[in-house]
Each structure stands twice: as C-alpha cells, then as structure tokens.
Structure 1
Amino acid sequence: MSAQISSGIEASKDTFGIPRPDVDPFAIEFFDDPYPAQETLREAGPVFFLEKWNVYGAARHAEVHAILNDPQTFCSSRGVGLSDFTKEKPWRPPSLILEADPPAHTRTRAVLSKVLSPATMKQIRDGFTAAAEAKIDELIERKTFDAIADLAEAYPLSVFPDAVGLRKEGREHLLPYAGVVFNAFGPPNELRQTALERSAPHQAYVAEQCQRPNLAAGGFGACVHAFSDTGEITNEEAPLLVRSLLSAGLDTTVNGIGAAIYCLARFPEEFARLRRDPSLARNAFEEAVRFESPVQTFFRTTTREVEISGYRVGEGEKVLMFLGAANRDPRRWHRADRYDIARKTSGHVGFGSGIHMCAGQLVARLEGEAVLAALARRIAGIEINGPVKRRYNNTLRGLESLPVTINPV
C-alpha cells in the first residue's frame, strides 16, 4: 500500500470530518503501554487530528513512510518537534542535519555521510567487536547485572566517544544531553521543562567538546572539522555537525541494544534461534529497532496545502508521525506484534526514512550486531530477575533498568 499525497489543491484550514481520537501521545500512561493507543490511532484513519496539541498525525506505515520521503512538502527546518521555528525561538541553535532542508541539508549531510561511511565502519569493526566480546566476558563473571547501565549504556560509551575523539573527562554528560534533545521535541510538559531546566551543564560540555582543539586527531570529530579546510563546510558549521554526530551515534544505539536484550529475554525461542545461527545478530538488532522503535515520533511541518490519503491539511500545520505505530502496522507487517529475528525488516522506519534517515545508523547497527553476536556465542540464556523500569522521554522509548541473570554456555 502507498499513501496518496497531493498538493496544489484548495485545502480547508479547518479539520471538519477528520478523525479526532482521544489520545495524548505525551502522557506517562501512553509511554507505559503505547500499543493499545497506537492501534486506536491506526484504526482512526490514515490521518487524524489531536486536539490536545493542535496537530495532525499519521500512524499507519504507508502515510508515515510517504511523509518521511516528501521533504519538499513536509519540511524539517521549522523543527522536528512541536515547536515551530518560524513562530518561536529554538532552545538551541538548530541541527544542521535533523532540522534542515535541502539544499543546505544536502551539503552538510554529505559531509557526515563521508565521516560515517561504510568504509569507516570496516576500519573500526574489529575494535568494536573485540570490545563487545570483552564486555560480555566481564558480565559473565558477574552473572547478574543491569542490562541497561552495565551493557546497553556501558558498551557504546566504551567505544563511541573514543571513536569521536572526545576527552575522557565529562563523558557522563553525553546521555543526559541526548535525553534533553529528544525531550525538547515534545510539548511544554513536565518532561520537557525539567530537562531544559537541568540542561545547562550538559549543553556547556557538548559545546566545548565539539570545538576542534578538544578533539583527538583521527577521530570522527576531527574528520568533520577537516572538511572546513576544504570549504565543504564552514568553521562555524563544523562544531554543530560534531554535535549532531554525538546525538546520532548514541541515543538510538543505547536504546536499540537495550530493546534487543529485552526482546531476547522475553522471547527465549528467538534467542535459541540466534544461538544456533549467530549470523542473525544484525537482523536480530534490526528487528528489535522495528519492534520496540527507540525513536517513537517525529514532527514535520507542511510547506503548502496538501491532501493526505483523502484528507486536506493546510500550509504551516504540524504533522506528528508515529514511527513506533507504523513499525507495528499489520497492514505492512505479518504478525506485527511478534519479535522475529528472521523477519525481512526492510522498510521499517525505526531509523527514519528518506534524506533524514538517522545519520548514525551504521554505527548503531555495527554496535548492535557486535553485542548480540557476542551474547549468542557466549550465553545460553537471559532471564529477567527483577522489576523492569522505563525511562520516560517525549520522543525516545527505552528502559531505565533491566535486571537480568545470564547463563554462560
């Protein structure tokens, strides 16, 4: 199925006739258990209107995918959160990647794509793999641990900051900074307000670390700055691109690895399948990203009057895309609510889609594959041995704590 999006029509500014489901996607109750509400949103229609936040929404895969792949009609430069940058000042200088449109986005994205290229991934692969194996060996000795703090967070933080070229001091600010960024995409609720109120030290650390003198030679950050020497980006743009790299390389990875471990613990038959064939590790991670969708939502803003699957939406309207709901849409996926490590996951929107697809996706996939392959070769089983605690964020879906016991082979 493909969504029908057309422009050049005489669109109505009101929302007469459009479905109005009574759902608040930024409520704690929604974060605790989003799946019934996501089904409500998908079944409401291809497009709907959320009165609480005065925004349009799309939760079916066809419409979400179509919107992501039409940046001319659904722009990012007016903000990928609820805030409209033409009406209010951004809380920080906008991202040159996430909050930009072509042609400006095309130029800066090309630089980041060169820095995080498949060739670069080949160069760092052995080191990342060895670090994952060492981390799992360390955890085998402990047997019982928190799979979030001790693995999903600890492993990426042990390899990615070094790859970027960050100094050792202050790295504890990295994850809180990413939390602020993704909370800020939401509405002015308590999560957003509290995150911004506490953000000053995290922002200061990141701003300082993104400067050229503070980045080690040969790292991703220094490579970004090197493009300012060739004129492909300016000296002012380079630190902002390094900032984007920090967000792109950590948030999805941490939550993706946490989601994968959570899935494998709840679906022991799939972990047994992975143990029999560790080459499925990459796909097991990919399926976890589809199944749990670490990035749940993103906004776009219409640049013109447009019709989406029969519903008219005016210019300058915010449209909320439910990536998590799209990734479990039964119209697109057979047994969508089932974690299946052999599933053909092509087309999921867990990393986005189109020109704004996650810039750090190759790093995330490399790290996810390395961890799951190491688990498959060294662990006989994973058992949850305590209460699972969720971490609340306006955009990200992840866990705060996942106590587990592992049984070595």
Structure 2
Amino acid sequence: MTTVTSPITSPIDLFSDHTLQNTEAVFAELRETAPVVHLPANDAWAITRYEDVREALGDPATFSSKQVAFNPQMNQILSGTSLAADPPQHGDLRAVLTDNLSPRAMRKMKGEIYAKADALVRELAGRGSFEGMTDMAVAFPVQIVLDLIGVQGELRAKILPWGEAAFNLLGPLNERAQASFPIAGELFKWTHEEMKGEDLAEGSIGRNIWEAAERGEISHESFGYIVHQILAAGMDTTITTIGNLLVQLGNHPEQYAQLRENPSLAAAALAEVLRTKTPAPVFGRVTTREVEVAGQTIPAGAQIALLYGSGNMDPRKFENPEIFDITRNPVDHLGFGYGIHACAGQGLAKLEINGLLEALIRHVESFRIGEVTQRLNNFTRPLATIEVLDIVTAEVPATA
C-alpha cells in the first residue's frame, strides 16, 4: 500500500506587491517551510532550495521549459524560442544565439565596450553625484545592446519600455500584466511581423541572425523570436544587476575599498551581487511526468516555480548567505540559471558589467548611496532610482 503525503501548502502569492517588495524575506519563509511548497494562489509548486532547483534545471526531460511563463497566453507566444524549447529543438535555436554571443565574439567587442564604460564612468564621477539608474544602469546597456542588434532611428527609444512590459507578461495575468499587454504587443508586432533584415545595421548580431534565416539555418519566424529574446533579456536583467552592483558596493564601503585594493576580485564581486540580488528570481517549468523532489511527489503537468533567488540564499549551500562578501566567489550561483537554459547572453552581460566595474575602481575612490526606490515587475526586480552621492574621485588609478 502506497502512502501519499499531503503537500505542504502556503497562501503566499509569488507575484503580489508584498512579495515583489519583500522577495528575500518571503523566499526565506518558503525555503524554511519545506523544499517543495504548493502555492494555490499561483496554482504552482515552488522548489525552494539550492540543490533541488539546480537538479531540476539539469533535468529538462522532466522539467520542461514549455511553461516558462505563468500564463498560457505568454507560453504560446514564446513557443518557438530557445527560452521555451526543449531538446532537440532547443539546440538549433540556441546555436544561433551562442554563435553570435560566443566568447570569441565577445573578445572582439571588449575593447570598444570597455572604452565606452571608462568614458561614461569618468564623466559621471566628475559630477560628484549622479542618478544611478538613468545615468549608468540604463544608459550603458541600452546603448551597447541596441548597437549590437543594429536597431536604428526612432525605434531605439521604444525598446526599453517594450522589454520591461514583456517581462511583466512572464508572470500571471494580474493587473501589471494586463497593463503591459498593449506595450509588449508593439514589441511582438515589430519583431514578428514588421522587422526586416535590411532595417538592421550591417555587421550587427541582428543582421547576422537574419542572414542565417536567409540561408535556411533557422526559420524566418525564429529570426523574430531570437531578436526579441536578445532585446528583452540582453538589457533588463543587466540593467537590474548594474543597479544592484552600485547599491551593494555603496552600502558596503569596506568591500568596495577591498575591491579597489585588489581589482582581481571584480569577477567574484559580480558573482556575489548576482547571488545576493538575483535579477530574475523565479522561472517557470512544467513537469512531463510524476516526479519526486525532496520526498514530495509532484504530479505530471504541474506548473513549477523554480526559486533561483531562494536557492542563492540557501544556508545549506552558502554559509552566512545574508552577508555580502566579495571574497566568497560563488561561481555556482543560480543568477544566470544552470544547464541547457543557462543565460545565453551572460558573456555579454559580464562584459558590460565588468567594464563598468573596472572603470569605477579606476576613477572612484569612494561613494555613498542615498535614496533607492523600486519599480515593481512580475519577473525581474528592477530599481527605479538610485542616488549616488559624495563621490570622491581617485587621484591615482587603482592598480590592475
């Protein structure tokens, strides 16, 4: 006789205003409640602890990406993208992305990106204070990514609000998502119906993907999907992480001083920011079969919520996880995901952020964070404003 264990449930709504404003505290509550928690408010099963989240990410045959969003309309829209595809289709779609965002391609871009980062930080530091989101976290990746895609003219001003709206649609169809539908619809219409290869700058990633479609390596329909993915994901999560980097270093001046003394810690510092402030803390999956996770049976066809942000703060994995420590070097954090769906654009994100970070170390001896405000989004955790104050410029560049 089989014993069926009743699932542990919680009234928590992963997409309520309270959860979005208090994600770390809510995730801690869920994580310490159980490794798997059923959430009737979201009709989902939340996997809360590091090892279980990572194991699920490494098993796409059981945890399918066909329900990466938390509403059927968006999952249908995403069908045909690498984000929402399983093997073998996933490999073909992913290859086009990785070919254009490969380490070799990134190396070619490094000099130009770092030079732009240096010029921006030097100018902002000279002001004595600046608005961290508008002046740095938004301005820099938007310029870089739109140039890479080859977006030209008046469309450039529309891309950022389009991307943010698209991320709202990855949650349930709540008020935020409903308000975002018309704005995101403009992005879908442009990428899937109106965009032409000749509209994108020659030599750009967008033009290269168009040419791959022309050669028959991918479908023309996939061309729109892939460009849409790069535009949406290549900016918003990077913008969020740059904002978090400023706040974490500004609020931990002893850590920033240590980083200036030892700039080789830059990569470790970024990893620690991604661990402590995961930019996209929840991703969806759907089970293809009945599966047991940490002793809890989850039925086939169940909506899964993989809590990346909770796993990154799991004390079973990371000692004293609430402490921001740039010497920790958590290379196995879940900030970029794991497995076949690990963020394809992470090389570009790291290049942009490390460029800014190295420039900050060079030109800024110290700074202070003033008021910080948050903007609520169903999927990411963006900041709206960051006051960067009392900047002391570096008289002598930090030693590399």
Cα distance in 2 for partners of 1:359, 1:230 equals 22
Of 167-176 and 117-126, deviating more is 167-176
Residue pair 2:20, 2:376 contacting (<8 A) in 1 also: yes
Of 298-307 and 154-163, deviating more is 154-163
Aligned to 1:82: 70
Equivalent residue letter for 2:242: I
Residue pair 1:299, 1:319 contacting (<8 A) in 2 also: yes
Q: Name the structure where helix makes up a greater proportion of residues.
A: 2
Query: Which of 110, 119, 128 is the equivalent residue of 1:143?
Result: 128
Aligned to 2:35: 46
Q: Does 1:22 align with 2:11?
A: yes
Cα distance in 2 for partners of 1:161, 1:356 equals 23
Aligned to 2:202: 217
Q: Does 1:325 align with 2:310?
A: yes
Q: CA deviation at 1:317?
A: 0.4
Residue pair 1:212, 1:222 contacting (<8 A) in 2 also: yes
Equivalent residue letter for 1:17: S
Shift in CA distance, 327/202, structure 1 to aligned 2, threshold 3 Å: same
Give the 3-state SS of the residue equivalent to 2:220 in structure 1. Answer: coil
Q: Does 1:228 align with 2:213?
A: yes
Aligned to 1:342: 327
Q: Does 1:160 align with 2:145?
A: yes
Residue pair 1:210, 1:242 contacting (<8 A) in 2 also: no
Give the 3-state SS of the residue equivalent to 2:82 in structure 1. Answer: coil
Of 228-237 and 300-309, deviating more is 228-237
Shift in CA distance, 89/150, structure 1 to aligned 2, threshold 3 Å: closer
* TM alignment of 1:265-280, pairs within 5 A: 265-280=250-265
Q: CA deviation at 1:234?
A: 2.1
Cα distance in 2 for partners of 1:11, 1:321 equals 26
Aligned to 1:4: none
Q: CA deviation at 1:20?
A: 1.1
TM-score scaled by length of structure 1: 0.91
Q: CA deviation at 1:198?
A: 3.5
* TM alignment of 1:9-408, pairs within 5 A: 17-77=6-66, 79-84=67-72, 90=75, 92-94=77-79, 96-207=81-192, 210-385=195-370, 387-405=371-389, 406-408=391-393
Q: CA deviation at 1:34?
A: 1.8
Per-residue CA deviations over 1:76-131 (Å, capped at 9, x if unaligned) read 12x211124xxx57563535111111111111101211110000000000000000
Q: CA deviation at 1:140?
A: 1.7
Give the 3-state SS of the residue equivalent to 2:300 in structure 1. Answer: coil
Cα distance in 2 for partners of 1:20, 1:194 equals 30
Shift in CA distance, 401/251, structure 1 to aligned 2, threshold 3 Å: same
Residue pair 2:10, 2:39 contacting (<8 A) in 1 also: yes
Of 138-147 and 102-111, deviating more is 138-147
Give the 3-state SS of the residue equivalent to 1:49 in structure 2. Answer: strand
Of 212-221 and 239-248, deviating more is 239-248
Equivalent residue letter for 1:58: I
Residue pair 1:286, 1:365 contacting (<8 A) in 2 also: no
Q: CA deviation at 1:141?
A: 2.5
Q: CA deviation at 1:206?
A: 4.4
